[in-house]
Amino acid sequence: MSLLQTKPVADVIAQSSGEGGADGHQLRRRLGAKDLTGFGIGLVIGTGIFTLTGLQARDNAGPAVVISFAIAGAVALLAAFCYAELAASVPTAGSAYTYAYATMGELAAWIIGWDLLLEFALGAAVVSRGWSGYLAQLFGLPTAWFGEEGSIVNVGAIAIVLLLGAVATMGIRQSARITNVLVVVKVVICVFVIVAGAFFVSAANLTPFIPAGQDPPPGESGLAQPLTQLLFGLEPSVFGIAGVLAAAAVVFFAYTGFEAVANLGEETKRPGRDLPLGLLGTLVISALLYVGVSLVLVGMVDYREIDRGAPIAAAFASVGADWAAVLVAVAAVAGLTSVMLVELVAMGRIGFAIARDGLLPPRLGAVHPRWGTPYRVTMIMSVAVALLAGFLPLSALADLVSIGALFAFVIVSLAVPWLRRTRPDLNRPFRVPLSPVLPIVSALACVYLMLNLSGETWLRFLAWLLIGMLIYFAYGHRHSRLTLARNAASAAGPGAGSPIPAPAPRTDSAPGSSGPAGPAGSSRATAPAAPGAEDEDR
């Protein structure tokens, strides 16, 4: 039963507000709704528009990829409502990991946390290789060092990950400022694509809107087909309704960025107001842009002739608008840069939350006394992503990122009615409408999209979870703060309390310093930021 032990919600709130005796393990509240929306759009608007749109239109859905994006966006919006309630009620780092810990227990929390690390690490690695390719296209750089074909090591991908990892390590405000600038650039370009591309749309390219189902390409493994086809013994097929749903499951990858907003709850000035605005604002704006851009793309070019590497830039080039193709390539570089930056920031916050609970060594979650960020785990994750991006072609693993995100969304959706039943007294600045109906519909929709991913994806996902379980039972469960508290209470005998021990004190502060939050217990959720933070915010 110790595997099902839950972390008290009061302890989660106390930790994030500095009241839990977790000196050196609190983050600084510096972000508002605008910053959160910028981070969310910074991660959402990227690979989905600049790469996946063309791939899924050509391979699975045809012009109906527009419907695929709409379906994926609707499911993501349902999950965002659930995230908004939990994030506003329990504003902390770790998002789905922490929500699972407070509702379903430690084992479920570890599985989700391990899953999220996979999702963001692979996502950042895939995007970095796309960034490197667009950069090579813009400046004519050698493909041996910046491309996919014939490349042994992708220097461009390694360089950009390490550079952005340094930015993510040195401060959340710096990350927010850079992200907001890049977001403005790519949103303007996306609007330009929709407006300018509309003049080149041909009705002939949109017919038939949903191509008839057909056999997959020769030689394609049966495991490459959606799991629903494998489970029910259906003949493998692409296009048709099945192709639209399969494409929706893959392009869901494009919407997963809003989840990073929930990871910043502990750094938000007014979480009850700003987190719901940031989460829902991200999804609405991104969905509108995705649907508009995908409609223009399939209207400009026959879906069978869409370029796989740079579909939108190539579409403008195909109609003689080379100048527009250059603008799109510039936007792609800016867009993919912000995607990587937000993913590196999110990974650091997830690792920080797991280490603070003792499931990973607590020293990994130490917060830098000057920068106010979980610098150790952020640097370690950045180096790991750089190695993956440099040596492994990961573009085929976008669907693995999707299954990781969908799995987390199922847990978050179920956590809403669960927490309402177990903690009806909890202050909820934002409430999911029609609960528990809407959260259950959200969970079922996510499961259905998961079933439309390939059998290969499920096997890879299960292998990753198995590795995580080995780490959990070898280290995490025995060293978790909840387990140590229970063992201490047992050793003290009947009647003894079982307080949750504070994490190991940080040893990297300057002499005489008590960390960015001051002495334990001196920081509150509504307290002003650390000295100097006000000037930085201005």
153-186 confidence digits (pLDDT tens): 888 889 999 999 998 888 666 666 776 777 788 7
Q: Quick check: 223 and 454 in contact, CB under 8 A?
A: yes
> What is the structure's pLDDT at 115?
87
The Cα 440–Cα 420 span in angstroms is: 13
Phi, psi of 65 (to 5 degrees): -60, -25
- Smallest CA-to-CA distance from 13 within 97, 88, 85, 80 is with 88
pTM, entire model: 0.74
Residue 214 bridge partners (DSSP): 238
> What is the structure's pLDDT at 173?
64
Lowest mean pLDDT of 8-12, 279-283, 388-392, 422-426, name the range. 8-12
> What is the structure's pLDDT at 204?
92
**pLDDT band at residue 517 using 50, 70 and 90 as cut-offs:** very low
Lowest mean pLDDT of 72-81, 341-350, 505-514, name the range. 505-514
- Smallest CA-to-CA distance from 454 within 378, 399, 409, 374 is with 399
DSSP string, 182-216: HHHHHHHHHHHHHHHHGGG--GGGGSSSSPPPBPP
3-state secondary structure of 264: coil
Most confident stretch, 28-37, 325-334, 500-509? 325-334
- Smallest CA-to-CA distance from 166 within 364, 381, 457, 442 is with 381
Is a pLDDT exceeding 80 seen at residue 453?
yes
* 30 vs 157 pLDDT, higher one: 157
Phi, psi of 105 (to 5 degrees): 110, 170
* 151 vs 269 pLDDT, higher one: 269
The Cα 437–Cα 441 span in angstroms is: 6
> What is the structure's pLDDT at 360?
92
Q: Quick check: 344 and 319 in contact, CB under 8 A?
A: no
Helix axes 172-197, 155-170, angle to 10 degrees: 130
- Smallest CA-to-CA distance from 123 within 18, 257, 245 is with 257
Is a pLDDT exceeding 70 seen at residue 398?
no
> What is the structure's pLDDT at 340?
86
